[in-house]
Amino acid sequence: MISQLFRKNNPENPEEKPAGTEEKAETAQEEAPAEETTGKKKKEKKKKTPMQELISCILTFLAALAIATFVRAYWVEPVRVNGTSMTNTLQDGEIVLVSKSAYRKNDPQRNDIVICRYPKRVDREINLGAALAVTQYEIFVKRLVALPGDTVEIRAGTLFVNGQAVPDPEFMGSVPMDYPLRSLGEDEYFVIGDNRYSSHDSRGEDVGPLSRSQIMGKVTRVLLPWGNRRTVE
């Protein structure tokens, strides 16, 4: 009996194990294989083949191209100014930012600087097959001076819109050719370069007033050269 009491009170008795020890050991043994299996799955992840890598690169490129095309077609686009027809407002070689979304909900306004295309002025045509061709039009930067329903006239070198004289915006002392009085139709817009003496625009017989579909966007600011950055009005 004394021996039995001694065994119960002796904490160092190797035969006695705390309750729950065996259960914990079994749980640890069960968890170990699960961790090993997870590690094996990570190691067994297959690498892409060269062909899969190539396809992935091509798809990434096409996605980036589609996004860039969408942005340029419907939101904004940088455009280079070629020539001196908008001097001194815009200089030859400057890069301007054109808002394609400016006229999505609002109509063009008098005095806006716009990019536009002229009838029959095609830059190039790209044939993609017998039934598909893409036409790229030459674009121009001009000032919109008259809207549908307005009257336009240039008399003695002075531009008149609705009977009111419109001064040369850059005071270049130019003397533009006269233009007979004309009332614009419901889808006719009249554009002129700020350098009126040296601009091919709506005054020309091969151009004339433009339709709304030929006005492609509004110039908002000059981007480059860096030192010439400014808002355009």
- State the total domains in the chain: 1
Model pLDDT, residue 47: 79
Tell me if 179 is assigned to some domain.
yes
Tell me if 97 is assigned to some domain.
yes
Tell me if 107 is assigned to some domain.
yes
Task: Convert the pLDDT of each residue in 35-64 to its tens digit.
Answer: 555 555 555 567 778 887 888 888 888 888
Choice among 18-32, 91-105, 204-218 with the minimum mean pLDDT = 18-32
Eight-state DSSP code of residue 38:
H
**What distance lies between CA 194 and its chain's CA centroid?**
27
Is 222:232 a contact under the CB 8 Å cutoff? yes
Tell me if 140 is assigned to some domain.
yes
Contacts of 88 (CB under 8 A, 6+ apart): 170, 172, 194, 195
Indicate the pairing of strand 95-99 with strand 179-183: unpaired
Query: Per residue in 90-109, is it b (16+ CB within 10 Å) or e — as a string?
Result: beeebebbbbbebbeeeebe
pLDDT at 206 exceeding the cut of 50: yes
Residue 208 belongs to a domain with what CATH number?
2.10.109.10
Amino acid at 23: E
In 3D space, the residue among 231, 233, 222 whose CA is nearest the CA of residue 78 turns out to be 222
Range of the domain at 151: 75-231
Task: Convert the pLDDT of each residue in 126-164 to its tens digit.
Answer: 555 555 555 566 899 999 999 999 999 998 888 999 999
Tell me if 57 is assigned to some domain.
no
Percent of the chain residues past pLDDT 70, beyond the cut: 67
Backbone angles phi, psi at 18, to 5 degrees: -60, 150
